[in-house]
A = this chain, B = another copy of it.
Amino acid sequence: MSDTPPRRLGAVFYPGWEMLDTCGPLEMLGNMPGIVEIVTVAQQAGPVRSAQGPEVVATYGFDNCPPLDLLLIPGGMSSRIEVENPVMIEWLRRRVPQAELTMTVCTGTALLARTGLLDGYRATTNKMFFGEVADASPNVRWVKEARWVEDGPFVTSSGVSAGIDMALAVVARLAGVEFSEQLAVATEYEWHRDANWDPFARIHGLV
C-alpha cells in the first residue's frame, strides 16, 4: 500500500503501431499495481490496428485524454506517416511538458524529436533507421551506441526490443532495482541492465 495514487501512464497508439514496441514496456510497467496504471490513447478513441494486424482499443481520444504522468510513444514504419501528422505532433507538444517522464521506443523517438522538445537532450532511436531520424532533428544530441538513454524527463530507447530493457530501468526508478530484478525473473526475461549494451549499433555500421 502506497500513500500516493498510482501514476497514470498513457500509451499512445496510431495506425500501424509496432506490437512489441508498446507491449514489451507495458508488460513491465503494467505489472506495478498501485504504482502505475495504464490508459490507452489515440487521435480518435476506438480500435487502432497494429503493423502485425491485431487491434488495440484506445480508451481515450486526444480530445478527452485525462492528465498523464507518464507517456509511452512507440515506433514502427508508420511513424514516418505520424511525424507528418500535425494533430499528433501538436498533441505531443502540449502533453509531453505536462508529464513527469516521456518514454519512446524505436522510431517513436522521431515523433518526440519532431515536437522540438527533445532539442539539446541526449537521445537514441532505432539503429537501422538512425541516420534518417537523426538528420530530421539535428538539434537533438543523438547517441549512436546505447540500448536506451535517460536525460531529464526523457527516456529514449533503441529499436523494438530495447523498450523492454528501458522499461525495466524506469521500473527501477519508480520502485527500486530489486523490484525490476524480480519482475525480470518472473517474466523470464534476461534484462540487459547496461544502458550502453548495444551490439546493434555495430551491426548497423554506426560505430
User: How long is the Cα–Cα vector from A91 to B71 in the complex, in angstroms?
Assistant: 39
Annotate A188-206 by CB proximity to B: 1 below 8 A, 0 otherwise.
1110100000011001000
A188 to chain B: closest residue by CB: B159
CB-CB under 8 A from A40, the residues of chain B are 53-55
The complex is assembled from copies of this chain, and their number is 2
Q: Which bracket fits the contact residues of A?
A: 35 or more
Contact yes or no, B39 A53, CB < 8 A:
yes
Contact yes or no, A56 B53, CB < 8 A:
no
Smallest Cβ distance from A91 to chain B, in angstroms?
A: 19
> With A159-B186, A188-B158, A188-B159 given, is the CB distance from A52 to B24 under 8 Å?
no
CB-CB under 8 A from A143, the residues of chain B are none
Contact yes or no, A27 B20, CB < 8 A:
yes
CB-CB under 8 A from A52, the residues of chain B are 26-27, 29-31, 38
Is A23 in contact with chain B by the CB < 8 A criterion? yes
Smallest Cβ distance from A20 to chain B, in angstroms?
A: 4
CB-CB under 8 A from A162, the residues of chain B are 188
User: How long is the Cα–Cα vector from A70 to B19 in the complex, in angstroms?
Assistant: 19
Q: Which of B26, B55, B126, B187 contacts A161 (CB 8 A)?
A: B187
Is A47 in contact with chain B by the CB < 8 A criterion? yes
Is A88 in contact with chain B by the CB < 8 A criterion? no
10 contacts between A and B (CB under 8 A): A11-B54, A19-B27, A20-B164, A23-B27, A26-B52, A29-B52, A30-B51, A31-B52, A39-B53, A54-B57
Query: Other CB < 8 Å A-B pairs besides A54-B56, A185-B200, 4 of them?
Result: A40-B53, A160-B187, A160-B188, A161-B188
